[in-house]
Amino acid sequence: MIKQILFAISLLITLGVFAWTTKRVLAYFRFTKKKPLHNFGKRIMVTLKVAVFQEKILRRPVIGMMHALVWWGFIVIIFGSIEMTIDGLFGTEKVFAFMGPIYDFLMASGDVFGLIIVFAILAFLFRRLFMHIQRFYGPEMKPVSKADANLALTIILVLMLSLLGMNTGYLLWADAVGEHTVGTYPVSYWLAGFFEGMTAESAWLLFQVNWWTHILLIFIFANILPYSKHFHVFMSVPSVFISRLEPLGYVENMESITKEVKLMMDPDAAFAEQPEEEGEPERFGVKDVNDIFWTNYLNALSCTECGRCTSVCPANITGKLLSPRKIMMDTRARMKEKGPGLVKEGAAFDDGKSLLQTWITEEELWACTQCNACAMECPVNINQPSLILDMRRYLVMEESKAPSGLNTVFANIENNGAPWQFSPEDRMLWAEGLEVPLMADKLAKGENPEYLFWVSSAGAFDDRYKKVTREFVKILNHLGIDYAVLGTEETDSGDIARRAGNEMLFQMQAMMNIEILNGYEVKKIITCDPHDFNTLKNEYPDFDGNYEVLHHSQFLQQMIDGGKIKLDSDILSGKKITFHDPCYLGRANGEYKAPRTVLDAIPSVKIEMERNKSFALCCGAGGGQMFKEAEKGDKEVFIERTEEALKTGCDIIATACPFCMVMMTDGLKYTNKEEEVKNYDIAELVSMGLGL
Interface residue list for ligand SF4 (CB under 6 A): 303-309, 313-315, 322, 324-325, 328, 368-374, 377-380, 382, 384-385, 388
Q: Least separation, in Å, of the C-beta of 144 and ligand SF4?
A: 16
Amino acid occupying residue 207: F
Of 325 and 334, which CB lies nearer to ligand SF4 in the complex structure?
Answer: 325
Q: Least separation, in Å, of the C-beta of 49 and ligand SF4?
A: 16
Of 304 and 578, which CB lies nearer to ligand SF4 in the complex structure?
Answer: 304
Q: Least separation, in Å, of the C-beta of 587 and ligand SF4?
A: 9
Q: Least separation, in Å, of the C-beta of 311 and ligand SF4?
A: 8
**Segment holding 483, helix H or strand E:** strand 483-484
Q: Least separation, in Å, of the C-beta of 299 and ligand SF4?
A: 8
Of 372 and 578, which CB lies nearer to ligand SF4 in the complex structure?
Answer: 372
- Coil, strand or helix at 278: coil
Contact status, residue 502 vs residue 410, Cβ threshold 8 Å: yes
Q: Least separation, in Å, of the C-beta of 50 and ligand SF4?
A: 11
Of 328 and 458, which CB lies nearer to ligand SF4 in the complex structure?
Answer: 328
Amino acid occupying residue 217: L
Contact status, residue 304 vs residue 71, Cβ threshold 8 Å: no
- Coil, strand or helix at 205: helix
Of 110 and 379, which CB lies nearer to ligand SF4 in the complex structure?
Answer: 379
- Residue 549 DSSP class: E
The Cα–Cα gap between 144 and 153 comes to 14
Q: Least separation, in Å, of the C-beta of 57 and ligand SF4?
A: 10
What distance lies between CA 555 and its chain's CA centroid?
27
Contact status, residue 322 vs residue 367, Cβ threshold 8 Å: yes
Amino acid occupying residue 111: D
Q: Which residues, in sequence order, are bridge partners of residue 467? A: none
Q: Least separation, in Å, of the C-beta of 317 and ligand SF4?
A: 9
Residue count (the chain) = 692
Q: Least separation, in Å, of the C-beta of 338 and ligand SF4?
A: 21
- Evaluate the CA torsion angle 282, 283, 286, 290 in order and state its sign: negative
Q: Least separation, in Å, of the C-beta of 376 and ligand SF4?
A: 8
Contact status, residue 308 vs residue 135, Cβ threshold 8 Å: yes
Cα Rg for the chain, rounded, in angstroms? 30
Of 297 and 472, which CB lies nearer to ligand SF4 in the complex structure?
Answer: 297
- Closest C-alpha to 355, from 374, 336, 383, 373: 336
Of 328 and 360, which CB lies nearer to ligand SF4 in the complex structure?
Answer: 328
Q: Least separation, in Å, of the C-beta of 243 and ligand SF4?
A: 11
The Cα–Cα gap between 652 and 118 comes to 49
Of 330 and 684, which CB lies nearer to ligand SF4 in the complex structure?
Answer: 330
Of 229 and 287, which CB lies nearer to ligand SF4 in the complex structure?
Answer: 229
Of 325 and 466, which CB lies nearer to ligand SF4 in the complex structure?
Answer: 325
**List of residues 6+ apart from 246 with CB closer than 8 A:** 252, 538
**Segment holding 436, helix H or strand E:** none
Contact status, residue 296 vs residue 271, Cβ threshold 8 Å: no
Of 327 and 683, which CB lies nearer to ligand SF4 in the complex structure?
Answer: 327
Q: Is 135 exposed, middle or buried (0-12, 13-18, 19+ CB in 10 A)?
A: middle
Q: Hey, what long-range contacts does 2-10 have (CB within 8 A, 24 or more apart)?
A: 3/88, 3/91, 4/88, 4/89, 4/90, 4/91, 7/88, 7/89, 7/215, 8/88, 8/89, 10/215, 10/216, 10/219
Contact status, residue 275 vs residue 521, Cβ threshold 8 Å: no
Contact status, residue 474 vs residue 434, Cβ threshold 8 Å: yes
Of 206 and 391, which CB lies nearer to ligand SF4 in the complex structure?
Answer: 391
Of 254 and 303, which CB lies nearer to ligand SF4 in the complex structure?
Answer: 303
Of 164 and 621, which CB lies nearer to ligand SF4 in the complex structure?
Answer: 621
Q: Least separation, in Å, of the C-beta of 393 and ligand SF4?
A: 15
The Cα–Cα gap between 688 and 478 comes to 13
Q: Which residues, in sequence order, are bridge partners of residue 549? A: 525
Report how far apart, in Å, the C-alpha atoms of 445 and of each of 70, 96, 516, 631 are. Answer: 67, 80, 18, 52
What DSSP line would sit under 19-48, residue for residue? HHHHHHHHHGGGGSBP-----HHHHHHHII
**Segment holding 680, helix H or strand E:** strand 678-681
- Closest C-alpha to 106, from 128, 72, 68, 80: 80
Q: Least separation, in Å, of the C-beta of 161 and ligand SF4?
A: 27
Of 232 and 427, which CB lies nearer to ligand SF4 in the complex structure?
Answer: 232
Q: Least separation, in Å, of the C-beta of 639 and ligand SF4?
A: 16
H runs (alpha helix) in 610-681? 637-647, 658-670
**List of residues 6+ apart from 91 with CB closer than 8 A:** 1, 3, 4
Q: Least separation, in Å, of the C-beta of 677 and ligand SF4?
A: 26
